Amino acid sequence: MRKIDLVLLLKNRRKNRYSGPRKAQMIIHPLGIGLMAISLILLVGVTLAAGVYYAHISADLPSLDVLPVLLNPDNGELLQPTRIMDRDNQVVLFNLDNPGIERRYLAVNPDEPVHFNPQLIRAVVNKLDPTFWQNPGYSLENWRNSAPTTIAERLVSDLLLWDEPPSSSRPLRMRLLAAQVVSRFGRTQVLEWFLNSAYFGHRAYGAESAARLYFYKSAQDLTLAESAMLAVLIESPALNPLDAVFNTLELQRQFLADLTENQVITTEEFSIAVRQKLNLRTEIEEPSSMAPAFTHRMLMQLEPAFGQNRLGRGGLVILSSLDLELQTQFQCTAQVQMIRLLGTSASGFAFDEQQCQAALLLPTQIFPGIDIQGLTTAGLVMNPQNGEVLLYVEPTTFKGSRQSDTGYEPGSLLTPFYALAGFARGLSPASLKWDVPINLSDPSLVYQNPDGSYHGPVSIRSAVANDYLIPMVEVTNQVGTSSVWNLASALGFNPTTDESDPAAILFSGGTTTLLDIGSAYSTLANSGVRTGVLNTASNEIKPNMVLQVITITQRIILDRTPPATSAVLSEPLAYLINNVLSDESARWPSLGYPNPLEIGQPVAAKIGQTSAKNQVWMVGYTPQRLALVWMGKPQTDQATENLDPRMAAGIWHAVIKMAVNDLPKLDWTIPQGIIRVNVCIPSGMLPSAVCPNTMEEVFLKGNEPSIADTLYQKIKVNRETGQRATVFTAPELIEDQIFINVPAEARQWAIDAGLAVAPSGYDSIPTTQLNPDVMIKEPVIFSPVRGKVTIRGTASGNSFSSYTVQIGEGINPASWQQIGNTGTTPVNDDELAVWNTTGLNGLFAVRLNVVDSNQGILSAVIQVTVDNKPPQVRITYPKPSQTIQPVRGSVTLSAEIQDAVGLNKVEWWVDGKLVSTQTNAPFVYIMNAVTGKHTLQIHAWDAAGNKTTSEKIQFSILK
């Protein structure tokens, strides 16, 4: 090999030896830098994310400074029980505590004069948090666990986070606060606060109160056995010695055994503890209230916001809505009224007029034969403008014995809601309904008015005011039960009933509450605006019983003085029912004049009762106050009683007069959308020439009547036979009489009741009309006709000469007019003439005269009703372009259709399709709800064949 070649070879080998590592180094270096950068970015991102998450969970954490305020040894808020005050903050209605059990603060430090027994400290720590003296106050072993696992966590959960709802961040917030409280105050202080605030069952908060409640001793003097029992109560407070003594003893002994097994106590200590005979309290007086039912309902109202433990833990002053003076007046007035029902048995009874001013306002009433044994009275008063409950009294006997606040049957108190549902769907206070016996599908059912009578044609105004229930059953059938319940629910009334018959609850059955009834009627009093407190669980506004909740140190925890409001009923609709219920003269037929429902100022009032007459109601209101009174026997069987609603009305009269005594006399103003029209009563239609009685009535604008009255009719009759007069009736026997136009289903009852029912028959037709050679075959006698009428028949005979056809107006025409030409050719069962009735209406006679060759005249006469006026059709619900909220999957459409002669058929067309055909009122169609826009049009034909087509309206249905 040449020398130069050898040199080049060695050079190339050297080059190859160093080029590989250099290339690798060139690749790895930037890669390493990149990985380091990514790691740094991830680290920064994680750090930022952790910071953001920490900021999230620590946002708005409660201040630890609250704890010393709550548990200051001298004046801590929790050292005082929760107090419920009257609305003036002057009288304590109720202390939420165990009577006679003092709340005291004890120290953990045994060097303090008053301290917890070390046995209790050892027992509680080992039961709840064995590592208490070593851990930082929290445990991350199950960091997502929402339940506290350390004593510090229990403390902050109970005292700082009591009002915070469950969430994914709450467990971490709790543990963060636990760490902070241990770090800031130390373990000894944390344990001391916990022992002075923990719940031990049966309204015992704090170990000192629990020791005195269960063992008659201080927590400073507890034994190991007693300490072990208190320790287990913290985890199972319901299983306490007063409420479940055997369960408590079992838990205590198991805990003592656990302490022995874990070598916390010796075997000897265990033996002494389990053998100790404990001096356990077996009963304690329940805390008494000056208004038991009110405070019970009020606490139930507060529990969703506070929880039972926070209320019982103490330190709160609850300013209630209760007017204690008014409550006292109600109670004593009810007692006086019930005592008076005893009659002579009440001799010697006297009441303090100075203490019971309202009883002086009781009307003079006598109810002979009333058995008041077991009779109770209940009621409430509300302010409709803010929904506050001013008094609430559970069923109470005349001796002052309180009964269960349940079992209320609404009965006829519901009729205003049925009427309202009708008003919302085209009816009005003036709408005519028939109060007559009704046929029910179930023959075992009998619906009867409370007074045992029927009243024939009545307006809805009269039916509601006088407690006539049968007309309201008709309203229910017309508008649908779902419409009634949907409206009542919006007002605040939700009765429970399992009746398959929708109207049955008007008579008996179903249950409700005083607050539900009060809420619904209070909404009416406030012109359709529901007021009170918002229940976040149901998203409903309920009557408010709490004004404020503050602490002993005047910290405001809750303020409900600005009420929640929601407009649930249009003001015009509310005005209609308020106008009906405040109509004094409308009540006179059933209650007389004067009566207890009249108080000298505008007031809407309604009596109520069940068919068994074992419960009676009275509710009445002004725009500023509502009073409700119930009397009955809810806990007895359904045996028929003889209670009279006027008994409750007497109490109501006295209480409402006292409640409004210092208030200005207000009435409901007429809102936009209300119109007043003079109508015939009871039909509610425009007055006709023969209408005997009229009155001014209120209507929703656009819903006022447009048709003259058809209830009353002037008919010519034969005064001797009582039948409708005809052309054959002798003129001297014909007279005009006014009759009531009664529907077929009410006709027999109306006749039996002696009403002036229009005769269905006509005066007898002379047999001369039966001459086969002189006879009108068409139209049929007494039939309705219209337009061009072909008169067919026979005009012939052996000596036939000619015939003419004549018409005359009325039963006995004063003149006759020939139609067509004189016929000179005999006609056998064929056309005689054509009569053009255009422009004519009413009763006409048609006469065929046949002249024979001897100039003798034979005649045949019929009567017909000429009807060239088509039916009047008005869609009453929905209105054009109205948006409807369906109820239980359906909507109810309604129309008002009238005709002077009579209707033949009515067709409902929805979205261009025929969906229903009807022949009789009420004209209602229940439509399956389909979301979206729809059209509605109605075609109606009368008996004469005239047709009317309504306007086509558009409406929409919501989901």
**What tokens were used for 937?**
């049009």
Interhelix angle 324-341/645-659, rounded to 10 degrees, is 150
Is residue 78 scored above 90 in pLDDT?
yes
CB 412 within 8 A of CB 300: no
pLDDT by residue (tens digit) across 556-606?
999 998 999 999 999 999 999 999 999 999 999 999 999 999 999 999 999
Pairing of strands 857-866, 842-852: antiparallel
> Is the backbone peptide bond immediately before 878 cis, with ω within 30 degrees of 0?
yes
Is residue 215 scored above 90 in pLDDT?
yes
The band of 41, judged by pLDDT with boundaries at 50, 70 and 90, is: low
Closest CA to 818 of 830, 829, 828, 804: 804
Q: How is 342-404 classified by DSSP, letter by letter? A: TGGGGTT----TTT-GGGGGPPP---TT---TT-EEEEEEEETTTTEEEEEEEEE-TT--B--
Closest CA to 700 of 882, 560, 908, 489: 882
**pLDDT of the residue at 445:** 64
Domain ranges of the chain: 1-54, 98-286, 411-528+568-659, 672-703, 712-752, 767-866, 872-957
The band of 645, judged by pLDDT with boundaries at 50, 70 and 90, is: very high
CB 804 within 8 A of CB 822: yes
**pLDDT of the residue at 365:** 86
CA–CA gap between residue 843 and residue 834 (Å, rounded)? 18
**pLDDT of the residue at 9:** 44
CA–CA gap between residue 301 and residue 306 (Å, rounded)? 10
Give the mean model confidence (pLDDT) for residues 941-956: 91
Give the mean model confidence (pLDDT) for residues 837-850: 91
Instruction: Kindly report the three-state secondary structure assignment for every residue of 884-942.
Output: ECCECCEEEEEEEEECCCCEEEEEEEECCEEEEEECCCCEEEEEECCCEEEEEEEEEEE
Percent of the chain with pLDDT over 70: 90
- DSSP letter at 219 equals G
**pLDDT of the residue at 58:** 66
CA–CA gap between residue 386 and residue 388 (Å, rounded)? 6
**What tokens were used for 544?**
């408010």
> Is the backbone peptide bond immediately before 692 cis, with ω within 30 degrees of 0?
no
CB 642 within 8 A of CB 609: no
The band of 145, judged by pLDDT with boundaries at 50, 70 and 90, is: confident
* Phi, psi of 263, deg, nearest 5: 60, 30
CA–CA gap between residue 390 and residue 543 (Å, rounded)? 10
Q: What are the C-alpha distances in Å from 127 to residues 390, 406, 878?
A: 47, 43, 69
Options 3.90.180.10, 1.10.3810.10, 3.30.420.40, 2.60.40.290; CATH for 98-286 is 1.10.3810.10
Is residue 635 scored above 60 in pLDDT?
no
Is residue 444 scored above 50 in pLDDT?
yes
Is residue 4 scored above 70 in pLDDT?
no
> Is the backbone peptide bond immediately before 682 cis, with ω within 30 degrees of 0?
yes
> Is the backbone peptide bond immediately before 779 cis, with ω within 30 degrees of 0?
yes
Is residue 344 scored above 60 in pLDDT?
no
Closest CA to 654 of 295, 351, 293, 294: 351
Question: Reduced to 3 DSSP states, what percent helix, strand and coil does the chain have, rounded to the nearest 5?
Answer: 35, 25, 40
**pLDDT of the residue at 278:** 94
Is residue 2 scored above 50 in pLDDT?
no
Q: What are the C-alpha distances in Å from 513 to residues 186, 413, 726?
A: 52, 12, 62
**pLDDT of the residue at 21:** 53
Is residue 732 scored above 70 in pLDDT?
yes
Closest CA to 559 of 580, 541, 577, 544: 544
**pLDDT of the residue at 898:** 84
**pLDDT of the residue at 383:** 98
Residue with more model confidence, 4 or 683: 683
**pLDDT of the residue at 479:** 82
Q: How is 777-803 classified by DSSP, letter by letter? A: EESPTT-EE-SEEEEEEEE--TTEEEE
Closest CA to 702 of 682, 670, 669, 674: 674
pLDDT by residue (tens digit) across 762-792?
877 665 457 899 999 999 988 899 999 999 9
H-type helices in 480-570, by residue range?
481-491, 514-525
Is residue 743 scored above 90 in pLDDT?
no
What CATH number is given for 411-528+568-659 in this structure?
Answer: 3.40.710.10
Among the ranges 6-10, 225-229, 641-645, which has the highest mean pLDDT value? Answer: 225-229
Q: State which H helix or E strand residue 684 sits in.
A: none
- Amino acid (1-letter code) at residue 936: L
Is residue 47 scored above 60 in pLDDT?
no
The rounded mean pLDDT for the chain is: 88
H-type helices in 132-242, by residue range?
151-159, 170-185, 187-195, 207-215, 224-235
pTM: 0.82
Superfamily of domain 767-866: Immunoglobulins (2.60.40.10)
CA–CA gap between residue 835 and residue 681 (Å, rounded)? 39
CB 301 within 8 A of CB 618: no
What CATH number is given for 872-957 in this structure?
Answer: 2.60.40.10
Q: Which of 96-105, 224-233, 474-483 has the least mean pLDDT? A: 474-483
Closest CA to 864 of 732, 776, 771: 776
CA–CA gap between residue 578 and residue 282 (Å, rounded)? 56
CA–CA gap between residue 509 and residue 511 (Å, rounded)? 7
The band of 90, judged by pLDDT with boundaries at 50, 70 and 90, is: very high
End-to-end CA distance of the chain: 102
pLDDT by residue (tens digit) across 411-429?
999 999 999 999 988 899 9
**pLDDT of the residue at 6:** 44
Q: Which of 717-726, 919-928, 941-950 has the least mean pLDDT? A: 919-928
Is there a common fold for 98-286 and 872-957? no
Is residue 513 scored above 90 in pLDDT?
yes
CA–CA gap between residue 675 and residue 685 (Å, rounded)? 14
**pLDDT of the residue at 264:** 94
**pLDDT of the residue at 59:** 73
pLDDT by residue (tens digit) across 852-909?
888 888 989 988 999 999 998 988 888 899 888 776 677 888 888 888 778 889 999 9
**pLDDT of the residue at 7:** 43
Give the mean model confidence (pLDDT) for residues 648-652: 97
How many C-beta atoms surround the C-beta of residue 216 within 10 A?
A: 10
Closest CA to 249 of 264, 236, 259, 262: 236
Give the mean model confidence (pLDDT) for residues 659-678: 95
Give the mean model confidence (pLDDT) for residues 166-190: 94
**pLDDT of the residue at 65:** 94
Residue with more model confidence, 628 or 957: 628
**pLDDT of the residue at 638:** 53
